[in-house]
Amino acid sequence: MRVVIFGASGMIGQGVLRACLLDPQVDSVLLVVRRLLDVDHPKVRQVVHTDFTDFMAVRGEFEHLDACFYCAGVSSAGRSEEEYSRITHDHTLAAADAVSAANPSLTFTFVSGEGASESSRSAWARVLGRAENELLGMPFNSYVFRPAYIRPRNGAVSQTPAYRLTYRLTSWLYPLLHRLAPSHTTTTEHLGRAMIAVVHLQGSAPAVLHSPDINRLGAAVGGAAPGGELR
């Protein structure tokens, strides 16, 4: 399996990259980055690109891909809806167009969030919902991941200072939170494994995955049950 990851420097992207490096089914990993990451692994190749609205200059790098794991994103805090939409919607759709051009049977996974909906009164939820709907309408296999609370594992660290502090202060509460609300919790480890697992589903199973689906896929040996159904 040949994959490309957008957002490998972020907390979720770190978890997805780790899962790809550990999975023997993943042969190569292309990282699209704004600056080179400190990653030295025989599977990994990095391409530096700063304009996420236009990938024409690097489209040749996207040939012969099986999957795109889109983990890039920012917090909506302190941003106008226009700015948040440009980063969260426009950049995502530009990447989807670029990677799918030479790979019509590609699987594209997008990390959204619980509560995303175009009809929401919250700007962040509307923007994510619009990005989701447009991706699901594109001519490739697309999966939307809607996690709620994500626990960083195996050294994954958020690039947002406020989130970093929150995770540091609340990490001890996770076991209790998971017991009380298991359907609203997951980990970066399960997210990474689940993203790899959906590639094998080839468009089957629910296109929108919530935390229970992510955990089920992430914990399952081999990822998917016979027939491509979630187990």
48-99 tens-digit pLDDT: 999 999 999 999 999 999 999 999 988 888 899 999 999 999 999 999 999 9
Query: Residue 17: inside a domain, yes or no?
Result: yes
Region 152-159: mean pLDDT is 76
CA distances to 43, 49, 58 from 35, in Å:
18, 8, 15
- Beta strands 44-48 and 67-70 are unpaired
Query: Residue 194: inside a domain, yes or no?
Result: yes
Tell me: pLDDT of 229 over 70. Answer: no
Q: What is the CATH number of the domain that holds 210?
A: 3.40.50.720
Give residue 124's domain range: 2-223
- In the beta sheet, which residues pair with residue 4? 30, 68
Sign of the alpha-carbon torsion through 199, 200, 201, 206: negative
Report field, pTM of the whole predicted structure over 0.75: yes
Query: Residue 18: inside a domain, yes or no?
Result: yes
Instruction: Write the pLDDT tens digit of every residue in 100-118.
Output: 999 999 999 999 999 999 9
Query: Residue 228: inside a domain, yes or no?
Result: no
* CA distance linking residue 118 with residue 174, whole number of Å: 30
* Helix extents (H) in 41-108: 81-85, 91-101
**179: confidence class by pLDDT, cuts 50, 70, 90:** confident
Query: Residue 229: inside a domain, yes or no?
Result: no
Domains in the chain, number: 1
